[in-house]
Amino acid sequence: MAGQSWAAIRKNDQYRVTAVREVPLFATLASLAVLLLAVTGMWYREGR
């Protein structure tokens, strides 16, 4: 399915799942909180 200046993908409902990855949400949020505290601390110290 293609033309001179376009291309299309035909939907045929065929797919293959090759991997499933699960990431714990708490670790990500805790890391974000630590990073935010570190940046805030540096900003506070720089302003003094």
The residue ranges of every structural domain in the chain are 24-48
pTM exceeds 0.75, yes or no: no
Which residues neighbour 19 within 8 Å (Cβ) at sequence distance 6 or greater?
Answer: none
∠ CA 26-28-32, rounded to 5°:
115
pLDDT in tens, 6-45: 888 888 888 888 898 887 888 888 999 999 999 999 999 9
Residue with tokens 């499933």: 20
**What is residue 1's predicted lDDT score, i.e. its pLDDT?**
66
**What is residue 45's predicted lDDT score, i.e. its pLDDT?**
94
